[in-house]
Amino acid sequence: MAEAAAGSVIGFVGLGNIGKPMALRLAAAEALDVHVYDVAPGPLAELEAAGAKVAGSVADLAAAVDVLCVMVRDDDQVRAVLDEALTTARGGLVVVVHSTVAPGTPGELADLAARSGVRLLDAPVSGGPMGAADGTLAILVGGEDEAFAAARPALEAMGTKVVHTGPVGSGTRFKLARNLMHFVSFTAATEAQRLAEAAGLDLKALGDVVRHTDAITGGPGAIMHRETAASIAPDDFWHGVFSHVAALGEKDLGFAVALADELGVDVPLARLAEQRLRKGLGL
Protein backbone atom coordinates (compact mmCIF):
# COMPACT_ATOMS: atom_id res chain seq x y z
CA MET A 1 0.00 0.00 0.00
CA ALA A 2 1.28 3.46 -0.85
CA GLU A 3 2.21 5.77 2.03
CA ALA A 4 -0.92 7.52 3.23
CA ALA A 5 -1.20 11.29 3.03
CA ALA A 6 -2.19 13.37 6.04
CA GLY A 7 -5.87 12.97 6.80
CA SER A 8 -6.13 9.67 4.98
CA VAL A 9 -5.82 7.23 7.90
CA ILE A 10 -9.31 5.77 8.08
CA GLY A 11 -10.88 3.65 10.77
CA PHE A 12 -13.98 1.52 10.33
CA VAL A 13 -16.13 -0.02 13.09
CA GLY A 14 -18.93 -2.45 12.28
CA LEU A 15 -18.20 -5.11 9.67
CA GLY A 16 -21.69 -6.43 9.11
CA ASN A 17 -23.80 -7.02 6.02
CA ILE A 18 -23.19 -3.52 4.64
CA GLY A 19 -20.23 -2.40 6.76
CA LYS A 20 -17.90 -5.17 5.66
CA PRO A 21 -18.17 -4.49 1.91
CA MET A 22 -17.85 -0.75 2.62
CA ALA A 23 -14.64 -1.39 4.55
CA LEU A 24 -13.37 -3.66 1.78
CA ARG A 25 -13.82 -0.79 -0.68
CA LEU A 26 -11.72 1.39 1.61
CA ALA A 27 -9.03 -1.29 1.89
CA ALA A 28 -8.87 -1.50 -1.90
CA ALA A 29 -8.22 2.25 -2.22
CA GLU A 30 -4.46 2.77 -2.66
CA ALA A 31 -4.33 6.24 -1.11
CA LEU A 32 -5.99 5.21 2.17
CA ASP A 33 -4.44 3.57 5.23
CA VAL A 34 -7.31 1.55 6.69
CA HIS A 35 -7.73 0.27 10.26
CA VAL A 36 -10.75 -1.80 11.34
CA TYR A 37 -12.46 -3.16 14.43
CA ASP A 38 -15.39 -5.49 15.04
CA VAL A 39 -16.41 -7.89 17.79
CA ALA A 40 -16.59 -10.77 15.27
CA PRO A 41 -13.23 -12.32 14.28
CA GLY A 42 -14.29 -13.59 10.84
CA PRO A 43 -14.78 -10.21 9.14
CA LEU A 44 -11.59 -8.90 10.78
CA ALA A 45 -9.60 -11.72 9.22
CA GLU A 46 -11.13 -10.95 5.83
CA LEU A 47 -10.27 -7.27 6.11
CA GLU A 48 -6.74 -8.05 7.27
CA ALA A 49 -6.28 -10.30 4.24
CA ALA A 50 -7.45 -7.38 2.09
CA GLY A 51 -4.72 -5.13 3.52
CA ALA A 52 -6.41 -3.41 6.46
CA LYS A 53 -4.82 -3.20 9.92
CA VAL A 54 -6.82 -4.76 12.76
CA ALA A 55 -7.19 -2.76 15.97
CA GLY A 56 -7.65 -4.37 19.36
CA SER A 57 -10.48 -2.07 20.43
CA VAL A 58 -12.47 0.99 19.44
CA ALA A 59 -10.23 3.06 21.71
CA ASP A 60 -7.08 1.81 19.97
CA LEU A 61 -8.66 2.51 16.61
CA ALA A 62 -9.71 6.05 17.49
CA ALA A 63 -6.21 6.90 18.70
CA ALA A 64 -4.68 5.87 15.36
CA VAL A 65 -6.92 7.41 12.72
CA ASP A 66 -7.97 10.76 11.26
CA VAL A 67 -11.46 9.68 10.19
CA LEU A 68 -13.50 7.04 12.03
CA CYS A 69 -16.44 5.49 10.14
CA VAL A 70 -19.11 3.81 12.23
CA MET A 71 -21.60 1.32 10.78
CA VAL A 72 -23.19 -0.49 13.72
CA ARG A 73 -26.73 -1.66 14.38
CA ASP A 74 -28.59 1.09 16.24
CA ASP A 75 -28.47 4.30 18.28
CA ASP A 76 -27.27 2.55 21.44
CA GLN A 77 -24.36 0.90 19.66
CA VAL A 78 -23.39 4.17 17.97
CA ARG A 79 -23.36 5.90 21.37
CA ALA A 80 -21.26 3.10 22.87
CA VAL A 81 -18.72 3.33 20.03
CA LEU A 82 -18.48 7.11 20.34
CA ASP A 83 -18.13 6.98 24.13
CA GLU A 84 -15.17 4.61 23.82
CA ALA A 85 -13.64 6.50 20.91
CA LEU A 86 -13.67 9.77 22.88
CA THR A 87 -11.48 8.24 25.60
CA THR A 88 -8.48 8.23 23.23
CA ALA A 89 -9.43 10.42 20.26
CA ARG A 90 -7.04 13.13 19.17
CA GLY A 91 -8.42 16.61 18.62
CA GLY A 92 -9.54 17.01 15.04
CA LEU A 93 -10.76 13.44 14.63
CA VAL A 94 -13.79 13.22 12.34
CA VAL A 95 -16.36 10.57 13.28
CA VAL A 96 -18.67 9.56 10.43
CA VAL A 97 -21.87 7.82 11.54
CA HIS A 98 -23.18 5.67 8.68
CA SER A 99 -25.83 3.93 10.80
CA THR A 100 -29.41 5.11 10.31
CA VAL A 101 -30.38 6.58 13.68
CA ALA A 102 -33.20 8.64 15.20
CA PRO A 103 -33.52 12.21 13.85
CA GLY A 104 -32.27 13.83 17.07
CA THR A 105 -29.32 11.50 17.67
CA PRO A 106 -26.71 13.11 15.35
CA GLY A 107 -27.06 16.52 16.99
CA GLU A 108 -26.76 15.04 20.48
CA LEU A 109 -23.67 13.05 19.48
CA ALA A 110 -22.08 16.01 17.71
CA ASP A 111 -22.44 18.12 20.85
CA LEU A 112 -20.87 15.36 22.94
CA ALA A 113 -18.00 14.88 20.48
CA ALA A 114 -17.30 18.63 20.28
CA ARG A 115 -16.43 18.70 24.00
CA SER A 116 -13.41 16.54 23.12
CA GLY A 117 -12.48 18.49 19.99
CA VAL A 118 -13.98 15.79 17.76
CA ARG A 119 -16.18 16.64 14.76
CA LEU A 120 -19.09 14.41 13.80
CA LEU A 121 -20.86 13.81 10.50
CA ASP A 122 -24.06 11.84 10.06
CA ALA A 123 -23.70 9.98 6.76
CA PRO A 124 -26.29 7.22 6.27
CA VAL A 125 -26.09 5.25 3.06
CA SER A 126 -28.57 4.10 0.44
CA GLY A 127 -27.98 1.23 -1.95
CA GLY A 128 -27.85 -1.83 0.29
CA PRO A 129 -25.24 -4.59 0.33
CA MET A 130 -25.09 -4.58 -3.47
CA GLY A 131 -24.16 -0.92 -3.63
CA ALA A 132 -21.69 -1.37 -0.79
CA ALA A 133 -19.99 -4.27 -2.58
CA ASP A 134 -19.50 -2.46 -5.87
CA GLY A 135 -18.83 0.97 -4.37
CA THR A 136 -21.93 2.66 -5.82
CA LEU A 137 -23.67 3.70 -2.61
CA ALA A 138 -25.37 7.05 -2.22
CA ILE A 139 -23.93 8.60 0.96
CA LEU A 140 -25.94 11.43 2.52
CA VAL A 141 -23.73 13.62 4.67
CA GLY A 142 -24.71 16.18 7.30
CA GLY A 143 -22.07 18.30 9.01
CA GLU A 144 -19.52 21.11 8.82
CA ASP A 145 -17.74 21.81 5.53
CA GLU A 146 -14.25 21.15 6.92
CA ALA A 147 -15.23 17.82 8.45
CA PHE A 148 -16.94 16.83 5.20
CA ALA A 149 -13.79 17.72 3.23
CA ALA A 150 -11.67 15.58 5.57
CA ALA A 151 -13.94 12.57 5.19
CA ARG A 152 -14.62 12.97 1.50
CA PRO A 153 -11.76 10.76 0.14
CA ALA A 154 -13.05 7.86 2.21
CA LEU A 155 -16.66 8.53 1.29
CA GLU A 156 -15.84 8.65 -2.42
CA ALA A 157 -14.08 5.28 -2.14
CA MET A 158 -17.36 3.77 -0.94
CA GLY A 159 -19.99 5.59 -3.00
CA THR A 160 -20.52 7.17 -6.39
CA LYS A 161 -23.08 9.72 -5.13
CA VAL A 162 -21.81 11.61 -2.10
CA VAL A 163 -24.25 14.40 -1.20
CA HIS A 164 -23.47 17.09 1.39
CA THR A 165 -27.01 17.66 2.61
CA GLY A 166 -26.38 20.48 5.11
CA PRO A 167 -25.66 20.68 8.87
CA VAL A 168 -25.39 17.77 11.26
CA GLY A 169 -28.62 15.77 11.27
CA SER A 170 -29.59 16.60 7.71
CA GLY A 171 -28.05 13.40 6.34
CA THR A 172 -30.27 11.35 8.62
CA ARG A 173 -33.38 13.36 7.74
CA PHE A 174 -32.55 12.92 4.05
CA LYS A 175 -32.23 9.15 4.53
CA LEU A 176 -35.52 8.93 6.45
CA ALA A 177 -37.36 10.78 3.69
CA ARG A 178 -35.83 8.48 1.10
CA ASN A 179 -36.69 5.37 3.09
CA LEU A 180 -40.24 6.51 3.77
CA MET A 181 -40.79 6.27 0.02
CA HIS A 182 -38.87 3.00 -0.14
CA PHE A 183 -40.99 1.15 2.40
CA VAL A 184 -44.31 2.71 1.48
CA SER A 185 -43.53 1.54 -2.06
CA PHE A 186 -42.81 -1.94 -0.72
CA THR A 187 -46.18 -1.91 1.03
CA ALA A 188 -47.86 -0.82 -2.21
CA ALA A 189 -46.04 -3.66 -3.97
CA THR A 190 -47.60 -6.14 -1.54
CA GLU A 191 -51.05 -4.81 -2.50
CA ALA A 192 -50.20 -5.21 -6.18
CA GLN A 193 -49.02 -8.77 -5.57
CA ARG A 194 -52.23 -9.72 -3.78
CA LEU A 195 -54.26 -8.22 -6.62
CA ALA A 196 -52.17 -10.00 -9.24
CA GLU A 197 -52.37 -13.33 -7.40
CA ALA A 198 -56.14 -13.05 -7.06
CA ALA A 199 -56.31 -12.34 -10.80
CA GLY A 200 -54.32 -15.50 -11.55
CA LEU A 201 -51.16 -13.73 -12.71
CA ASP A 202 -47.50 -14.75 -12.41
CA LEU A 203 -46.04 -12.72 -9.52
CA LYS A 204 -42.42 -13.25 -10.57
CA ALA A 205 -43.23 -12.01 -14.06
CA LEU A 206 -44.92 -8.97 -12.54
CA GLY A 207 -41.79 -8.26 -10.50
CA ASP A 208 -39.64 -8.52 -13.62
CA VAL A 209 -41.87 -6.01 -15.42
CA VAL A 210 -41.79 -3.58 -12.47
CA ARG A 211 -37.98 -3.66 -12.30
CA HIS A 212 -37.71 -3.33 -16.07
CA THR A 213 -39.99 -0.33 -16.41
CA ASP A 214 -38.73 1.42 -13.25
CA ALA A 215 -35.22 1.25 -14.72
CA ILE A 216 -36.57 3.10 -17.78
CA THR A 217 -38.88 5.64 -16.15
CA GLY A 218 -37.09 6.21 -12.82
CA GLY A 219 -39.89 4.73 -10.75
CA PRO A 220 -41.27 7.00 -7.99
CA GLY A 221 -38.29 9.32 -8.41
CA ALA A 222 -39.59 10.29 -11.84
CA ILE A 223 -41.84 12.96 -10.30
CA MET A 224 -39.13 14.40 -8.02
CA HIS A 225 -37.70 17.29 -10.05
CA ARG A 226 -39.25 20.37 -8.42
CA GLU A 227 -37.55 22.38 -5.65
CA THR A 228 -40.74 22.65 -3.59
CA ALA A 229 -43.79 20.57 -2.69
CA ALA A 230 -46.05 23.66 -2.84
CA SER A 231 -49.02 23.93 -5.18
CA ILE A 232 -48.17 24.50 -8.83
CA ALA A 233 -49.30 27.68 -10.59
CA PRO A 234 -51.43 27.03 -13.70
CA ASP A 235 -48.79 28.68 -15.94
CA ASP A 236 -45.94 26.57 -14.53
CA PHE A 237 -44.41 23.97 -16.89
CA TRP A 238 -44.96 21.24 -14.30
CA HIS A 239 -48.70 21.95 -14.08
CA GLY A 240 -49.25 20.46 -17.50
CA VAL A 241 -46.90 17.55 -16.90
CA PHE A 242 -48.43 16.60 -13.56
CA SER A 243 -51.99 17.13 -14.77
CA HIS A 244 -51.27 14.42 -17.34
CA VAL A 245 -49.70 12.20 -14.66
CA ALA A 246 -52.72 12.71 -12.38
CA ALA A 247 -55.23 11.94 -15.13
CA LEU A 248 -53.46 8.70 -16.04
CA GLY A 249 -53.00 7.76 -12.41
CA GLU A 250 -56.59 8.37 -11.40
CA LYS A 251 -57.82 6.37 -14.39
CA ASP A 252 -55.55 3.40 -13.72
CA LEU A 253 -56.02 3.49 -9.97
CA GLY A 254 -59.77 3.55 -10.50
CA PHE A 255 -59.60 0.47 -12.70
CA ALA A 256 -57.25 -1.31 -10.24
CA VAL A 257 -59.50 -0.57 -7.24
CA ALA A 258 -62.53 -1.78 -9.20
CA LEU A 259 -60.70 -5.00 -10.02
CA ALA A 260 -59.72 -5.39 -6.35
CA ASP A 261 -63.38 -4.96 -5.34
CA GLU A 262 -64.42 -7.58 -7.88
CA LEU A 263 -61.82 -10.04 -6.58
CA GLY A 264 -62.29 -9.24 -2.89
CA VAL A 265 -58.73 -7.90 -2.38
CA ASP A 266 -58.09 -5.22 0.26
CA VAL A 267 -56.05 -2.35 -1.27
CA PRO A 268 -56.11 0.55 1.23
CA LEU A 269 -53.01 2.27 -0.14
CA ALA A 270 -54.43 2.24 -3.64
CA ARG A 271 -57.67 3.83 -2.38
CA LEU A 272 -55.68 6.48 -0.50
CA ALA A 273 -53.55 7.17 -3.57
CA GLU A 274 -56.68 7.57 -5.68
CA GLN A 275 -57.85 10.27 -3.27
CA ARG A 276 -54.53 12.05 -2.74
CA LEU A 277 -52.52 11.76 -5.94
CA ARG A 278 -53.64 14.99 -7.55
CA LYS A 279 -53.24 17.11 -4.40
CA GLY A 280 -49.93 15.47 -3.61
CA LEU A 281 -48.60 16.41 -7.03
CA GLY A 282 -49.39 20.04 -6.27
CA LEU A 283 -52.53 20.37 -8.37
- Dump pLDDT digits (tens) for 229-245: 999 999 999 999 999 99
Question: What letter represents residue 134's amino acid?
Answer: D
Identify whether 175 is a catalytic site residue: yes
Find out whether 183 and 99 touch, Cβ atoms under 8 Å: no
Could you give the angle at the alpha carbon of 10 between the alpha carbons of 2 and 107, nearest 5°? 155
Do residues 105 and 155 make contact, with C-beta atoms less than 8 angstroms apart? no
Strand partners, 262: none
Alpha-carbon dihedral of residues 185, 187, 192, 194, nearest 10 degrees?
Answer: 170
Cβ pair 255, 261 in contact under 8 A: no
Reported as a single tens digit per residue, the pLDDT across 31-47 is 999 999 999 999 999 99
- Are 149 and 124 within 8 A, CB to CB? no
- For residue 227, the model assigns a pLDDT of 93
Which is the catalytic residue, given 53, 175, 204, 251?
175
CA separation, residue 49 to residues 16, 27, 30, 53, 124 (Å): 17, 10, 15, 9, 27
User: Do residues 162 and 229 lie in contact, with contact meaning Cβ atoms separated by under 8 Å?
Assistant: no
pLDDT, one tens digit per residue, over 103-127 is 999 999 999 999 999 999 999 999 9
Query: All domains of the chain, ordered by start, with CATH?
Result: 9-168 (3.40.50.720), 202-280 (1.10.1040.10)
Q: What share of the chain is helix, strand, coil (3-state, %, to 5)?
A: 55, 15, 30
185-219 pLDDT, tens digit each = 999 999 999 999 999 999 999 999 999 999 999 99
